[in-house]
Amino acid sequence: MFNAILLNKNDDGSTNAKLAQLSETDLPADGDVTVRIDYSTVNFKDGLAITGRSPVVRKWPMVPGIDGAGTVIASSHPAWKPGDAFILNGWGVGETHMGCLAQQAKLKGDWLVPLPAGMSARSAMAIGTAGYTAMLCVMALQEQGVAKEAGEVLVTGASGGVGSVAVAILSGLGYRVIASTGKLDEADYLKSLGAAEVIDRAELSAPGKPLQKERWAGVVDSVGSHTLANALAQTRYLGTVAACGLAQGMDLPTSVAPFILRGVKLIGIDSVMAPRPRRIAAWQRLAAELDTGKLEKMTGEIDLAAALHKAQDILAGKVRGRLVVDVNR
């Protein structure tokens, strides 16, 4: 038997989330790798699943947890053997396939990537999907030619998980990073991660003109809606915006003006179904380029039961940076 957070649907359609004991027979039959989870995380999507605030879960009962890191126990997959250290992000885990807010999971070997040399399972989950997504954004900006000499890079939602890691990575690579946040009392925190300047999200969150004064060479946006529209309107000629989130909304109230008059590029970033080679490349870069001291500054640790309560906090924007879940305490 092992501990897990278990989600069930109540008769009224609401979600019942509790700490429960499961056995290996409760795990999905279609997994070909059984793993011990050492650490997981609470992401925004996990918060939606646990609280039932959005129809994230599409199969019941469900163990949430889109991220996990640990060790293989048993495997019928040719790429994995007992004792191998792995990272899991996305692939519908915690939505349609039982996830990693548990001490054990049964996953598909094709979904796993090797834990990079020198990186601990805890550090991998301090990074988690949020940090891995941030690196995918940075990779996209660089692939589109956004060099550190090109000008300032904006990071929206900067005190959240994606934003915090994006600020740390970009500043470490020599970019001048401007952090946008609704928590101006976190300015010192963001500057400790490498932000050169911190601005109020109110400067970007209201409806704005389709073209505005050019400022950003690149943007990492995890907010969407008017914030993304204004970021596009302020992006410099031939600049690039990497969009990966929807904290403000799924809408995009903009026009074609930034694209056809300034050649601005809007790159969508999907972390859930990203191909395995790109995942491995992102994790290798995270191991090499993310300052571990900065990572610790943005990381808090909780036990498995506390994840139930922190789900509400992460949706309310009350969580700074990253939350690591030690599932074994």
Nearest Cα neighbor of 28 from 70, 71, 72, 59 is 59
**CA contacts within 13 A on the Cβ side of 1:** 5
> How do residues 164-192 score in pLDDT, each as one tens digit?
999 999 999 999 999 999 999 999 999 99
Task: Give pLDDT tens digits for 248-271.
Answer: 999 999 999 999 999 999 999 999
35: left (phi over 0), alpha (psi -120 to 50) or beta: beta
The stretch 48-73 carries a mean pLDDT of 96
Q: Where are the domains of the chain?
A: 2-115+298-326, 128-268
How far apart are the C-alpha atoms of 100 and 77, rounded to whole Å? 19
Letter for the amino acid at 282? A
The domain defined by 128-268 carries CATH number 3.40.50.720: yes
Predicted pLDDT at 197: 98
In this model, does residue 33 exceed pLDDT 90?
yes
Query: What average pLDDT is seen over the chain?
Result: 96
Instruction: Report residue 285 as tokens.
Output: 């870069």
Backbone angles phi, psi at 119, to 5 degrees: -105, 135
Coil/strand/helix, residue 238 = strand
Instruction: Using pLDDT thresholds of 50, 70 and 90, give the confidence band for residue 54.
Output: confident
Q: What single letter denotes the amino acid at residue 202?
A: A
Statement: 2-115+298-326 belongs to CATH 1.10.3720.10: no
Q: What is the distance, to the nearest Å, from the Cα of residue 302 to the centroid of all Cα atoms in its chain?
A: 18
5 — pLDDT class (breaks 50, 70, 90): very high
Sign, CA dihedral 312-206-298-155, equals positive
Buried b (16+ CB within 10 A) or exposed e, 231-264: bbbbbbeebbbbbbbbbbeeeeebeeebeeebeb
Counting residues of the chain whose pLDDT is more than 90, the rounded percentage is 96
Long-range contacts of 24-27 (CB under 8 A, 24+ apart): 24/104, 24/106, 26/98, 27/98, 27/104, 27/105, 27/106
Q: State the Cα–Cα distance between residues 230 and 249, nearest whole angstrom.
A: 14
In degrees, rounded to 5, the angle at the alpha carbon of residue 278 between the alpha carbons of residues 192 and 219 is 45
Residue 206 pLDDT: 98
pLDDT > 70 fraction of the chain, expressed in percent and rounded: 100
Q: What is the DSSP letter of 100?
A: S
Closest CA to 68 of 13, 9, 4: 4
| Res 291: pLDDT | 96
Q: Which residues contact 209 (CB under 8 A, 6 or more apart)?
A: 233
Tokens 């992000």 sit at which residue?
A: 89
Rounded mean pLDDT of 72-93?
97
- Check residue 257 and give its pLDDT: 98
| Residue 290 C-beta-side C-alpha neighbours within 13 Å | 29
Examine the pLDDT at 317 and tell me if it is beyond 90. Answer: no
- Region 22-42: mean pLDDT is 96
Give tens-digit pLDDT for 125-156.
999 999 999 999 999 999 999 999 999 999 99
CA-CA-CA-CA torsion for 241, 242, 246, 249, nearest 10 degrees? 20
Per the document, the length of the chain is: 329
CA 60, chain centre distance (Å): 24
Rounded to an integer, the average pLDDT of 286-308 is 96
- 34, β-bridge pairs: 74, 106
